[in-house]
Amino acid sequence: MKRHSTAGCEILVEQLSAYIDGDLAAAECATIEEHARSCQRCATVIRDLRDTVGLCHKAAKSPLPEAVKRRARARIRALLSGEG
Ligand SMILES: [Zn+2]
């Protein structure tokens, strides 16, 4: 079992699902982006998601195909569990 000092990451994974679904409140979106400022891994994930998903407010306007969501979630998990 591995432990990281980046406690925000676990929350981020949960929040990112909503982020991907375009279902994230602006305040929560800000929390994610704030965490990403101090967490290189999450910053990478989010930068990647931005290309795919767009920012949270944008995503709300255009629902993503399920395949894209699945891929984004898989990427988040892989990055958070496989690195560091
Ligand atoms: Zn993180």
For the segment 31-77, what is each residue's pLDDT rounded down to a tens digit? 888 888 888 888 888 787 776 665 555 545 566 778 888 887 887 77
CA–CA dist 43, 36 (Å, integer): 4
- Tell whether 17 is covered by a domain: yes
Tokens of 46: 């989010």
Expressed in angstroms and rounded, the spacing between residue 4 Cα and the centre of ligand 1 is 9
Sequence-distant (6+) residues with CB within 8 A of 44 are 79
| Total domain count, the chain | 1
Question: How many helical (H) and strand (E) elements, i.e. helices and strands, does the chain have?
Answer: 5, 0
- Tell whether 42 is covered by a domain: yes
pTM summary value: 0.59
Which of the pair, 15 or 36, is modelled with greater confidence? 36
- Tell whether 1 is covered by a domain: no
- Tell whether 3 is covered by a domain: no
Domain that holds residue 76: 8-82
- Tell whether 47 is covered by a domain: yes
* Amino acid, res. 79: L
Expressed in angstroms and rounded, the spacing between residue 68 Cα and the centre of ligand 1 is 21
- Tell whether 32 is covered by a domain: yes
Tokens of 72: 């984004």
Expressed in angstroms and rounded, the spacing between residue 15 Cα and the centre of ligand 1 is 12
